Amino acid sequence: MIWVRRLIAIGLGILMIPLLIVTLLSLRVNDTFLEEQFYKDQLVEADIYNFLYTDALTVAIDQEIEKAGGMPLNINLTTEEIVEAIQATLPPDWIQHEVELAIDDAVPYLTGETDELSLTIGLSERADGALIVIQRLLNSMDIHTTLFDEAIPDGIANSYGPEIDIALGITLTAEEVASSIEVVITPEVLEDLQTQVAEDIGPYLTGKSETFTFNIPLAEQVDVIRREFRRILQGVDLKPFILDEVLDPALDEFLNEGVELPLGVVITRAEIRQATEAALTPEWVDAQADTLVNGILPYLTGESDRFTVSVPVRDRIDVAVVTLTATVDQKYTALLNSLPACTPSQVIQIALGAADPTSLLCTIPGLTVELLKSGLGIDPLDFLAQSITDQLPTTITFTEQDLLAGIGSGEESDTLDDVRTAIRDGWTLDETDLRKLLTALDPASLDNLDYVRETIRDGWNWTEDDLLELVYEIDDPSYGEDIEDFNDTRGYIDRARSWSFGLPLLSLLLLLMTGFIGGRKWITKLGWAAGALFISALVVSVFSGPLYDTLAKDELEKERSERIATADDQLEVLLIEKIADTGLQIGDVFFDGVESRAMILLLVGGVVMGGSVVFSIIGGGSSHVRKPGKESMLPPEPQSVADMPREAEENLGEPTGSSSPEQPTDEGEDESSADSSEGNATPDDAEASEDEDEDKEKN
């Protein structure tokens, strides 16, 4: 019967091993992965917050600089200075505080304690620090080079095209326009304005203000502007304006058919225009252009709202008329050369004056063009002067309306007005101008600006919906099922945590059953329970100590090496190293806790089991006193007087001399042997004897 019970106890003890493993792991999970403080402590222990700046961010910036071939926008900062600036804006202590607040919200949601997740990181309090960093960043930048190397030329080209017609025959490229602006807005001007930029635009960029106005005063640069305008206008060509805007309309109105002379000679409209164009010599045009520039500059610089420049052209028309008289002579010479010689009758008519010179159909020897003009009674110079000079304007007037008409309507005209206003009142940039500029350069940059402003103003918010969209594909047909499974898992974790006390109670119950079934006396029952606890704790200690160190750590190191071998850059290697080190750290903390509890149980089980064995060995003989039989219940037999001294000596344990030959030596030896046998009884013998005694009592 006892061996059946012991076999059952052994089976329960074997069952105790996996149960204790599960129990200790469950308790350790509750103490670590399901507790917010565990994550906070591990992040601090891994020095994550300083690692972000001292290692990760430094390497990331170095890599980006190397890829870009240098700092963008001509920023004159070292990597260390950039890291220090970011660290000043978002210090490690602040990041740690915000991360720990996020952990306090995330862990209860993931473990099923709450059904809502709301992570909020307030950035408005860091806005002032960000403005200081922006100011430092601006001071370190070569803003002038940054603007005029790419930004301004690209912006002009995107807005107005690669070439810009600014009227009066002047065409400039986007680079030439940018160069003219660069002459006015010098590096010294921008350097004085950099502090103002941060003060005026900073609150808008950080979301503290919805508007901003930034002004670059240009009044002190008027002399420079005037010189630059004069340089540009030196290329003005008044000839097309005079011909196209003044001469052609007059010719169309008054001389569209040309000028007809006697004998059908005609000075055409084209010949009149060609002669006038030839009269507008470069020297004359340059002289008039200088007059025009002097008249137009006050208008362009905003010093006046209108201008009028008069260009006298009467002398040029006179030159053109002189040129046309030669054309008349050429035409009459060609006419005479084309006529046949007169017949005798025609000669007689001419001599008698009976022929009409205006209908001359032949020529006579010695007839020249001069004789012909004299005979016709015409002076080509006077005739053309009356026919042409009196019909054309003697003075050309050029006003701001002509300038605007030459530029065109719409955006070009608005641009001229903006330039004049900027020169007079300073160049002003507001939020509308900035948004237009960003849209022209890159539409996505405007969205990025709005996102940054909103995030700084309202903080960064993240809910359970954002988490689910990050983990699962929202367009996936199984998205609903995935969310349901996710929430079910959270529920299981919450219920398992609520009932986590059940495993220790179950383990205790199994130990009690092992003890009660395996032992008969309380001391042996305790020994059996302690033995099962000792063996189970020993297995857990090996599992969480040497076995973990040998197998799990080796696998983690192997995984680390494989990932590093396939890493793309130094930053990825750095992150792999940190993640691996942190994983090993967390594993050590977790299994050290399991091992510590197992060692405590191992010690308790070993002490109790050892005490039970020792107590059974020491107290087994004295505790097992055979019950008196019937013979012992009878009164003693009467003794003789001779036997009394011997009995007294035996009772006192003192020898009385040599043994009497009559003493039964065999009986003494038998009694001594029996006593020795009883004194060396084992716990099992004691239990077996108990079983026999109990059986006898029952019988």
How does pLDDT run across 296-327, given as a tens digit for each residue?
888 888 888 888 888 888 888 888 889 999 99
Distances (CA, A) of 101 to 106, 120, 129: 9, 9, 21
Of the listed ranges 236-250, 273-287, 316-330, 664-678, the least confidently predicted one is: 664-678
Residues in CB range of 350: below 8 A, 6 or more apart = 342, 364
Say yes or no to pLDDT of 151 above 50.
yes
How far is the C-alpha of 643 from the C-alpha of 626, rounded, in Å? 28
Q: Residue range 88-108: average pLDDT? A: 90
| Tokens of residue 149, six digits | 């190397």
Domain boundary among 344, 378, 407: 407
Reference 84, options 120, 60, 54; nearest CA is 54
Tokens of 481: 């099922």
Question: What per-residue confidence (pLDDT) applies to 410?
Answer: 58
C-alpha separations of 384 from 154, 370, 387, 605, 645 in Å? 54, 17, 5, 136, 190
- Residue where the block lists tokens 């033995």: 531
> Does one domain contain both 335 and 297?
yes
Supply angle C-alpha 37, 38, 43, rounded to 5: 100
Angle at 347 between CA 341 and CA 349, to 5 degrees: 135
587 located within any domain: no
Alpha-carbon distance of 531 to 13, in angstroms, equals: 8
Asked whether residue 200 is assigned to any structural domain, the reply reads: yes
pLDDT at 205 over 60: yes
Q: Do 433 and 400 fall into the same domain?
A: no
Q: Is the pLDDT of residue 675 over 50?
A: no
Higher pLDDT, 198 or 22: 22
- Sign of the torsion formed by the C-alpha atoms of 199, 200, 204 and 207: positive
| Angstrom distance (rounded) from CA 313 to CA 393 | 8
Same domain assignment for residues 443 and 366: no
Q: In this structure, are 335 and 272 located in the same domain?
A: yes
Residue 625 confidence (pLDDT) = 43
**Within a domain: residue 392?**
yes
| Residue that the structure tokens 């793309």 belong to | 568
Helices 92-110 and 36-45 cross at an angle (nearest 10°) of: 150
Task: With respect to residue 655, please indicate whether it lies within any of the assigned structural domains.
Answer: no
Residue 31 has pLDDT above 80, yes or no: yes
* pTM for this prediction: 0.61
Number of residues assigned to the chain: 699
Strand partners, 214: 429
Q: Is the pLDDT of residue 657 over 50?
A: no
Tell me 340's DSSP state: P
User: Per the domain annotation, does 132 fall within a domain?
Assistant: yes
Q: Which phi and psi (to 5°) does residue 255 adopt?
A: -130, 35
Averaged pLDDT of the chain: 79
Helix (H, G, I), strand (E, B) or coil at 429: strand
Q: How far is CA 476 from CA 462, 469, 483, 488, 576, in A?
A: 22, 11, 11, 19, 31
Hey, is 501 helix, strand or coil?
coil
Show the DSSP H helices in 311-410 as ranges. 314-338, 344-352, 369-376, 380-387, 400-407
- Give Cβ neighbours of residue 93 (< 8 Å, ≥ 6 apart): 49
Whether the pLDDT of residue 539 is over 60: the answer is yes
- Copy the structure tokens of residue 231: 């340089």
The amino acid sitting at 199 is: E
* Distance between CA atoms of residues 190 and 66, nearest Å: 29
Mean pLDDT to the nearest integer, 361-374: 78
Tokens 């050429």 belong to residue: 330
CA distance 133 to 138: 9
> 282 with 321, same domain?
yes
Residues contacting 609, CB < 8 A, separation 6+ = 527, 530, 531, 533, 534
The C-alpha atoms of residue 645 and residue 636 are separated, in whole angstroms, by 17
Q: How far apart are CA 95 and CA 417, in angstroms?
A: 50
| Joined tokens for residue 68 | 């870009």
pLDDT of residue 75: 66
Among the residues of 339-399, which ranges form H helices?
344-352, 369-376, 380-387
**pLDDT at 628 exceeding the cut of 60:** no
One-letter-per-residue 3-state SS of 529-541: HHHHHHHHHHHHH
Extract the runs of DSSP E, i.e. beta strands, from 95-142. 118-121
579 Cβ contact partners less than 8 Å away, ≥ 6 residues apart: none
Encoded tokens for 502: 């059940």
Please tell me whether residues 179 and 237 are part of one structural domain.
Answer: no
**Greatest CA separation found in the chain?**
225
Q: Give the pLDDT band of residue 642 (cuts 50, 70, 90).
A: very low
DSSP 8-state class, residue 409:
S
Mean pLDDT in residue range 64-86: 77
Render pLDDT for 585-627 as a digit per residue (tens, 0 to 9).
Answer: 999 999 999 999 999 999 999 999 988 888 878 865 444 444 4
The closest alpha carbon to 268, from 384, 363, 185, belongs to 384
Higher pLDDT: 263 or 577? It is 577
Per-residue pLDDT at 643 exceeds 60? no
Q: How many CB atoms lie within 10 A of CB 247?
A: 24
Q: How many Å apart are CA 203 and CA 128, to the nearest integer? A: 9
**Same domain assignment for residues 203 and 351:** no
Tell me: do 255 and 386 sit in the same domain. yes
Among 458, 482, 498, the domain-final residue is 458
DSSP label of 341 = B
Buried b (16+ CB within 10 A) or exposed e, 452-489: ebeebeeeeebebeebbeeebeeeeeeeeeebeebeee
Residue 112 belongs to some domain of the structure: no
pLDDT digits (tens, 9 = 90+) for 428-475: 888 888 888 777 667 777 888 888 888 888 888 888 888 888 888 888
Token pair listed for 224? 């420079």
Whether residue 323 contacts residue 278, with contact meaning beta carbons closer than 8 Å, is answered with: yes
d(CA 46, CA 432): 47
Find, among 339, 338, 362, the residue nearest to 350 by Cα.
362
**Domain check: are 390 and 259 in the same one?**
yes
Q: Give CA–CA dist 584/586, Å, rounded.
A: 5
Instruction: Answer whether residue 535 is part of any domain.
Output: no
Q: Containing domain of residue 454, as a range?
A: 128-217+426-458
Looking at the structure of the chain, the number of domains it has is 2
For the stretch 477-529, pLDDT in tens is: 888 888 889 999 999 888 888 887 888 999 999 999 998 998 888 888 888 99
Which of 312, 313, 308 is closest to 403 using CA atoms?
A: 308
User: What share of the chain has pLDDT > 70, as a percent?
Assistant: 81
Q: Are 407 and 336 in contact (CB under 8 A)?
A: no
Tokens of 105: 């919200």
- Tell me, yes or no, whether 646 lies in a domain: no
- Is 304 in the same domain as 390? yes
User: What token pair was written down for 434?
Assistant: 């900035």
Q: Are residues 200 and 334 in the same domain?
A: no
Backbone angles phi, psi at 312, to 5 degrees: -70, 130
Side-chain-facing half-sphere of 273: CA atoms under 13 Å: 21
The verdict on 291 and 369 lying in the same domain is yes
